[in-house]
Amino acid sequence: MNEAPGRHEIESLRAPSAAIGFSPARVMAMVERHLYLLSSSPVRLIDLAYWPTVQLLTWSFLQLYVGRTSQLPVLAAGTLIGGILLWDVLFRGQLGFSMSFLEEVWSRNLGHLLMSPLRPGEFVLSLMIMSILRLMIGLVPAVLIATTFFGFDIATLSFAIPFLFINLMLTAWSVGLVTSGLILRNGLAAETIAWSAMFAMMPFACISYPVTTLPSLLQPIAWALPPTYVFEAMRAMLIGNTFRLDLLVESLALNLLWIGFGSLAFRALLASARRAGSLLSMGE
Amino acid sequence: MSTSSPPAILAENLSKTYDRVPAVDALSFRVDTGSVVGLLGGNGAGKTTTLAMIMGLTTPSAGSVRVFGADMARERGKVLHRINFESPYADLPHRLTVRQNLCVFGKLYGVPKLKARIEKIADALDLAQFLDRRTGQLSAGQKTRAALAKALINEPDLLLLDEPTASLDPDTADWVRSHLEEFRRRRGATILLASHNMGEVERLCDRVIIMRAGRIVHNEAPDALIARYGRETLEEVFLDVARGHGVGARLEKARAIP
């Protein structure tokens, strides 16, 4: 048996830097793959817009009814509609990430991808881009309905929107990274987590009520969740017309911790899946 | 070929254990650049696990595997663009057309002049008329050819094939073998082929590695192996090995005596 080659031999076999380093072309190839999939299936496109619209209609009618029967200014300000729209950014953002990942598992394509030159970081970035695109397909009709038919004044949030959006997407990607990692490690048995993970956050993120509504024992849990700050900031803008930069900065700081943890978890779970030998056989 | 070039594949004491049960046990072998090597063994012999470790999809429990000199557990990024594979364990997305699939993988592998490359490979593999058909709507034979087109899209230096003709009728299987022979001749590529079809292995391979229970039982040229067993075909040799008869069994018993 020959000895293993020395370092200089490996160096001489180095691929062109485009093959080894980060490649935007590979990221866009993956985005293209998912756009092909979406464009091939009108049902998938309709499904993306269907649920946010149904949910928005339900909560908007509730807001109309409660607004007429109650004198609370908090209801007049459209906080229910605002809350449900931002919740959709959070939930659909995570779902967009996780579903794009699951498409690869369902189609038994993961083995092809993970032994191609596609780097895990490029794969994750393509999932992030897809989560934004899928979210927009679902959210734009809902926002148009909210502003046109229910008098939701999106202009009140105007310059805060990018801050709110970025924070919610960072949380969505953090959860998406962990759930995708768990699916990598445990196979489709963990698929349910992709659908349900975000709902565990729902009662504590205080979407439609202030944090002070929670029992004092649960409030620290709420403040450990980045979206809680976003929903508080939204209420401050809609009710008091106050831009709470402090809340959004705190949310961002927490989000950076969350995305760091999510990235480490995804990496560790991918390494664990390689050790378990589950990558090649993963699928339906 | 330069004598200093590393082999296409170099496995040293390669082992994989699942729940304390060894799936692959201390394999050491090399596959020289430009050769075609068959990886044989019954179900559960450890062929697919070995291929997965060579591809870097599974991390070895012990030992190492190098492809063109790069350790696949730590440095696979350096060589993945030079490898490709086809396996019954991985599909092309069914909702995408053949052209869309080849386009995506061509971009992932950084294939230059991709459009022309897709046309050329589709022509060579008799896929041109199916390029704009969804992959899920193809017959088994057409799917195999589409998967082979994906595996060849980057003109790999190392092609790993896991039972490439398993679901094909004899005519299509023969056609695929001819194409692999032509690819090897033209490209000088290395091919590692896991197969249960002994005729296919005899026809294509310079050397065969026969595995049983995660270990290498034989590693030599098909002709030499047939002669040593005093058999007519590789299939007869394979049956002897699988059933623990003949030279292989005697050799194994001799090895077991301290």
Quick check: B238 contacting A, CB < 8 Å? no
Whole-Å CA distances, A2 to A32, B6, B55, B60, B189:
44, 9, 21, 20, 20
User: Residue B129 has what DSSP assignment?
Assistant: G
Contacts of B56 in chain A (CB under 8 A): 115, 274
Nearest to A118 among B18, B69, B108 (CB): B108
Selecting from A15, A271, A280 the residue whose C-beta is nearest the C-beta of B87 gives A280
The reply to whether residue B110 touches residue A18, judged by beta carbons under 8 angstroms, is: yes
The CA distance from B105 to the nearest CA of chain A, in Å, is 8
Top residue of A8, A26, A102, A112 to mutate, by most chain B CBs within 10 Å, is: A112
Q: What's the gap in Å between the CA of B83 and the closest CA on chain A?
A: 8
Is B2 part of a structural domain of the chain?
A: no
CA distance A69 to A168: 32
Q: Which of B4, B90, B103 is facing A111, going by the closest CB pair?
A: B90
pLDDT of residue A15: 47
Q: Answer whether residue B84 is part of any domain.
A: yes
Lowest mean per-residue pLDDT among B62-71, B133-142, B162-171: B162-171
The answer as to whether B3 is a domain residue is no
Q: Which residues of A touch B28 (CB under 8 A)?
A: 1
* Within-domain flag for B4: no
Cα A192 from Cα A183, distance rounded (Å): 9
pLDDT of residue A284: 47
Please compute Rg for chain B using Cα positions: 19
**How many residues can be counted in chain A?**
284
d(CA B134, CA A17): 34
**What is the per-residue pLDDT for B208?**
95
Check CB contact of A115 with chain B, cutoff 8 Å. yes
Q: What is the mean pLDDT of each run of 10 residues along chain A (284 residues)?
A: 40 50 94 94 85 83 76 67 89 94 93 94 97 92 83 74 93 97 90 90 92 95 97 90 92 97 97 89 59
Question: Of B74, B76, B78, B85, which to mutate for an interface test with A (greatest number of A Cβ within 10 Å)?
Answer: B78
Contact in structure between B132 and B99 (CB atoms under 8 Å)? yes
Looking at CA atoms only, how far is residue A24 from chain B in angstroms? 10
Q: What is the DSSP letter of B44?
A: T
Q: For residue A283, what are the CA distances in angstroms to A97, A191, A196, B172?
A: 18, 11, 20, 27
| Interface predicted TM-score of the whole assembly (ipTM), two decimals | 0.88
Q: Does A212 touch chain B (CB under 8 A)?
A: no
Give the domain range for residue B167.
9-256
Task: Report percent pLDDT > 70 for chain B.
Answer: 93
- Cβ atoms of B209 and B202 closer than 8 Å: no
User: How many structural domains are present in chain B?
Assistant: 1
A7: nearest CA in chain B? Answer: B69
pLDDT at B122: 94
Interface contact B79-A15, CB threshold 8 A: yes
Task: Please determine, for residue B19, whether its predicted confidence score (pLDDT) is greater than 90.
Answer: no
Range from A24-33, A145-154, B58-67, B172-181 carrying the lowest mean pLDDT: A145-154
Residue with tokens 């190392």: B158
- Classify residue B215: in a domain, yes or no: yes
> Where residue B194 sits, what CATH number does that domain have?
3.40.50.300
Segment B209-222 mean pLDDT: 92
Give the Cα separation of B211 and B217 in Å (integer): 5
- Please, which pLDDT band fits residue B84 given cuts at 50, 70 and 90? very high
User: Is residue B146 one of the residues assigned to a domain?
Assistant: yes
Which one of A106-110, A174-178, B213-217, B242-246 scores highest in mean pLDDT? A174-178
> What pLDDT, on a 0 to 100 scale, did the predictor assign at position A189?
83
pLDDT of residue A10: 40
Nearest CA in chain B to A103: B93
State both tokens at B62: 């012990």
Amino acid at B82: R
Tell me, yes or no, whether B172 lies in a domain.
yes
For residue B196, being part of any structural domain is answered with yes
Answer whether B110 sits within 8 Å of A275, measured CB to CB: no
